[in-house]
């Protein structure tokens, strides 16, 4: 059984639908006992970091999540909350990953060409499909370097020694982080077509 953590940040439906397409059994819950007892835990969500962090705290879930030993996957705001701190609202986060979450587009023009051939400035939020590289860990088993995944975000975790995939958008950032049983993706595997399905499947098989 997979526990999808419900902390009132929306977008649980798409994750639930994606698990449904994979034929996985799951429950959407904020019950600490059920989360601890699940074989896998997903922390999805969209929204603003300080609000989302507050919602986890109100439900007494911060310590619960930190102490989990089964595979855990944070998605989008989920992975950001697993980092040390977020620039968004200057928010202290759970500190599972040793990385800070930074605002995209701090620099107006990037010389690396990642903004496209003719773009004059970086559009924020980054919305759309971008590539992932430097893939590590079984989360990306069977995927090629340069696979496309779907992003909608204005903030992203910086690179760290726990980076297990990178993406370039104005600056390189952690597309995914991993440490022990904890994983997180800044992109949305539940919306990333076949590639995303493979990543979720890999997570279910970790």
Partner 1 sequence: MLAKRIIPCLDIKDGATVKGINFLGLQQVGDPVELGKKYAEEGADELVYLDISATLEGRKTFAELVTRIARQINIPFTVGGGISSVEDAGLLLRAGADKITVNSAAVRRPELIDEIAAKYGNQFVVVAIDAKQIDGRWTVTTHGGKRPTERELFAWAREAQERGAGEILFTSMDHDGTKNGYPCETFARLSDLLSIPVVASGGAGSVQDIADVLTMGRADAALAASIFHYGEIPIPRLKKELHTMGIPVRLI
Alpha carbon distances (Å) from 36 to 19, 67, 203: 19, 9, 17
For 62-78, the DSSP string reads HHHHHT--S-EEEETHH
| Residue 87 touching partner 1 (CB under 8 A) | no
Binding string, 41-80, against partner 1, x = CB under 8 A?
-----xx---------------------------------
Helix crossing, 12-21 with 193-204: angle to 10°? Answer: 80
Instruction: Give how many residues touch partner 1 by CB under 8 A.
Output: 41
Least separation in angstroms between residue 3's CB and partner 1 is 20
| Residue 172 touching partner 1 (CB under 8 A) | no
188 is annotated as an active-site residue: yes
The single residue among 34, 36, 84, 123 that binds partner 1, judged by CB under 8 A, is 123
Token pair, residue 70, equals 């089964």
Alpha carbon distances (Å) from 2 to 43, 96, 112, 126, 189: 11, 20, 40, 29, 16
Token pair, residue 105, equals 């587009």
Other beta carbons within 10 angstroms of residue 130's beta carbon come to: 17
114 is annotated as an active-site residue: no
The single residue among 3, 65, 115, 177 that binds partner 1, judged by CB under 8 A, is 115
For 105-155, the DSSP string reads T-SS--TTSTT-SS-SS--SSEEEEEEEBS--SGGGTTPPTTEEEEEEESE
Among 83, 126, 153, 188, the one annotated catalytic: 188
The Cα 26–Cα 135 span in angstroms is: 27
| Residue 23 touching partner 1 (CB under 8 A) | no
Least separation in angstroms between residue 168's CB and partner 1 is 7
Instruction: Give the number of residues written for the chain.
Output: 206
| Residue 119 touching partner 1 (CB under 8 A) | yes
| Residue 104 touching partner 1 (CB under 8 A) | no
112 is annotated as an active-site residue: no
Stretch near partner 1 under the rule CB under 8 A, chosen from 6-14, 62-70, 134-142, 172-180 = 6-14
Q: Is 69 exposed, middle or buried (0-12, 13-18, 19+ CB in 10 A)?
A: exposed
Stretch near partner 1 under the rule CB under 8 A, chosen from 26-34, 93-101, 156-164, 189-197 = 189-197
Give me the active site residues, please: 76, 188, 190
Binding site for partner 1 (CB under 8 A): 10, 13-14, 17-18, 20-21, 46-47, 113-121, 123-131, 148, 150-152, 168-169, 188, 190-194, 196-197
């Amino acid at each position: 059984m997979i526990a999808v953590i419900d902390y009132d940040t929306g977008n649980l439906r798409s994750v639930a639908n994606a698990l449904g397409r994979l034929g996985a059994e799951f429950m959407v819950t904020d019950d600490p006992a059920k989360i601890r007892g699940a074989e896998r835990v997903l922390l999805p969500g969209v929204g603003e970091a300080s609000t989302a962090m507050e919602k986890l705290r109100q439900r007494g879930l911060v310590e619960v999540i930190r102490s989990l030993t089964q595979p855990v996957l944070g998605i989008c705001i989920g992975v950001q909350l697993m980092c040390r701190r977020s620039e968004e609202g200057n928010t202290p986060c759970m500190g599972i990953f040793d990385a800070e979450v930074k605002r995209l587009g701090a620099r107006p023009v990037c010389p690396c060409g990642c903004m496209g051939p003719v773009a004059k400035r970086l559009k924020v939020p980054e919305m759309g499909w971008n590539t992932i590289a430097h893939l590590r860990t079984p989360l990306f088993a069977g995927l090629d370097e340069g696979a496309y995944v779907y992003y909608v975000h204005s903030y992203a975790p910086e690179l760290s020694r726990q980076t297990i995939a990178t993406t370039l958008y104005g600056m390189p950032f952690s597309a995914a982080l991993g440490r022990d049983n904890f994983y997180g993706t800044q992109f949305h595997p539940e919306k990333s077509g076949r590639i995303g399905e493979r990543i979720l499947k890999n997570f279910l098989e970790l």
